[in-house]
C-alpha cells in the first residue's frame, strides 16, 4: 500500500472542511447545505492536497455496472466513483465514514481496504 495516500470518500472530506468530481460535488453540496462555503474545497484542489483521480465519462460503463450491482443499497454515483478508483488504484485504501464500503467489493469479489474515521464531536 502506498503510505500517505488514500482514496477519500465524501464524509471525511466534509468533516475535515467543516472543522478546519461526484465526491467533490457531493462534498460541495453538503457543505452548502450545512451553511458552509465550498471555498476551502477549491483551496485544497489548488494546493494539490486533493485531486480528481477519475473521469466519469471514461468510466461510465463500469460506474453504471457498479450502481446496478448495488442498487439495493442504493449506491450513489460518488460511492461508485470511489469503488471504481479502488479498482484502478489497487494499493490504496478508502478513508470513509460510510459503512457501505464494508459491503462493496472491487472487481465484484475483493474486499476494499477501508480506513474508518470517527466524526469529530464538539
What are the pLDDT digits (tens) for 37-91?
Answer: 999 899 999 999 888 888 999 999 999 999 999 999 989 999 999 999 999 999 9
Parse the chain into domains and list their residue ranges: 6-116
Average the pLDDT over 10-29 and give the result: 74
- Considering only CA atoms, give the Rg of the chain: 14
Give the number of other CB atoms < 10 A from CB of residue 24.
Answer: 21
The cell numbers describing 78, all together, are 460518488
What CATH class is the domain 6-116?
alpha beta
Average the pLDDT over 17-26 and give the result: 70
Name every residue whose Cβ is closer than 8 Å to that of residue 64 and which is 6 or more positions away in sequence.
none
Amino acid at each position: 500500500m502506498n503510505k500517505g495516500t488514500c482514496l477519500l470518500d465524501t464524509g471525511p472530506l466534509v468533516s475535515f472542511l467543516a472543522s478546519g468530481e461526484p465526491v467533490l460535488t457531493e462534498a460541495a453540496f453538503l457543505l452548502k447545505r450545512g451553511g458552509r462555503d465550498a471555498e476551502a474545497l477549491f483551496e485544497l484542489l489548488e494546493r494539490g492536497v486533493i485531486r480528481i483521480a477519475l473521469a466519469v465519462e471514461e468510466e461510465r460503463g463500469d460506474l453504471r455496472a457498479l450502481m446496478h450491482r448495488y442498487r439495493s443499497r442504493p449506491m450513489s454515483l460518488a460511492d461508485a466513483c470511489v469503488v471504481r478508483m479502488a479498482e484502478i488504484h489497487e494499493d490504496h485504501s478508502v478513508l470513509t465514514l460510510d459503512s457501505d464500503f464494508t459491503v462493496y467489493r472491487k472487481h465484484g469479489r475483493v474486499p476494499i481496504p477501508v480506513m474508518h474515521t470517527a466524526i469529530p464531536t464538539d
